[in-house]
Amino acid sequence: ISIAATIGNEKYEYPFINAAGVYDETAAQMNEILDSQAGGVTTKSATLVSRPGNPLPRYFNTELGSINSMGLPNQGLDYYLNYIEETNTDKPIDLSISGTSMADNLKALKKVQSSNFNGLTELNLSCPNVIGKPQVGYDYDAIEDTLAAVFEFFTKPLGLKLPPYFDLQQYDAVASILNKYPLTYINAINSVGNGLVVDAETESVVIKPKGGFGGIGGTYIKPVALANVRAFRQRLNPEIKIIGTGGVSTGKDAFELILCGADIVEVGTILAKEGPAVFERLDTELKAIMEAKGYQKLSDFRGKLKEYQ
Ligand code: RRO
């Protein structure tokens, strides 16, 4: 049984990697992921200049998931470009970029364009936690303006990290924009933005920034992730691949996302809870399901979700 998968020129021997922002701010963390049974690693979303992020506490685990308002803490784009340049690995390293303005995103992507990096660059249009900056992915004109400006000069493989959508007309609108551009992939979904977790005992919120509002991840959001992957797979040009992210904590969750059309799968909340040892467990669980069903490779069932006739 092979669980290998490909996106653009990148080959993932294992189909699980970290979701951008989890276990990936420092070289030491990314090295631990590369040393595990992960298929590769994604960097923390980078800005041009390093940022400390929002005040603590800013991440909280619950039984069914997590809430975060990290606020884009990262070491700056040069740190991640240097890390990639200096790291000897057969596994893909995907570079996530999340400027806090269109001008900064363009500057960052120009830097990537003129660097030696030729892997996947993931432009994050869906950070819910930078105070005063709405998620670009909910503004169709801003998505279009960004892509038009980026593809004026960017010739390397590009993916977009999208926020979750909740209405079928949103998928229609976004897919019709994305289909006009030579995107290598999309990544669906980022956390469900601006949820609220309440601690009944203390009668208070659980994270400090933004009065407790933050991005929800984990089991809570799996049906939203399944829907977004499925809806985009039904609407996007087949050349645009899909990274499925959201609510995966078992091999079965991943199997479901791949049935909906995911090419590879990312894990956030469960990686934060279990650490990089989670990747071996997920690989093993996914293979066991495939073996029981008689599948030899991911393409035997990818996108083949059945509907009532
Ligand atoms: O750093 C964050 O607060 C953060 C980002 Br950039 C993102 O894209 N998604 C998220 O849940 N948190």
**CATH number of the domain encompassing residue 123:** 3.20.20.70
In a domain, 11, yes or no: yes
Ligand 1 centroid, distance to 297 Cα (angstroms): 32
Q: What is the pTM of this model?
A: 0.99
Q: In which band, very low, low, confident or very high, does the pLDDT at 124 lie, cut at 50, 70 and 90?
A: very high
What Rg, from alpha-carbon coordinates, does the chain have? Answer: 18
To test the pocket of ligand 1, the residue of 24, 47, 70 to mutate (highest count of ligand atoms within 8 Å of its CB) is 70
Residue 308 falls inside a structural domain = no
User: Is 64 inside a domain boundary?
Assistant: no
In a domain, 65, yes or no: no
What's the CA-to-centroid distance between 9 and ligand 1, angstroms?
27
Q: Do the domain assignments include residue 125? A: yes
Q: Is residue 59 part of a domain?
A: no
Which residues contact ligand 1 via a Cβ below 6 A?
Answer: 21, 45, 68-72, 98, 124, 126-129, 190-191, 215
Ligand 1 centroid from CA 24, angstroms: 12
Q: Is residue 67 part of a domain?
A: no
Q: For the chain, how many structural domains are there in total? A: 1
pLDDT tens profile 190-245: 999 999 999 999 999 999 999 999 999 999 999 999 999 999 999 999 999 999 99
Catalytic residue annotation: 127
Q: Indicate the average pLDDT of the chain.
A: 98
**What is the domain extent for residue 266?**
5-54+72-192+219-300
ipTM over 0.85: yes
Please report the atom of ligand 1 found closest to the CA of residue 214: 11
In a domain, 260, yes or no: yes
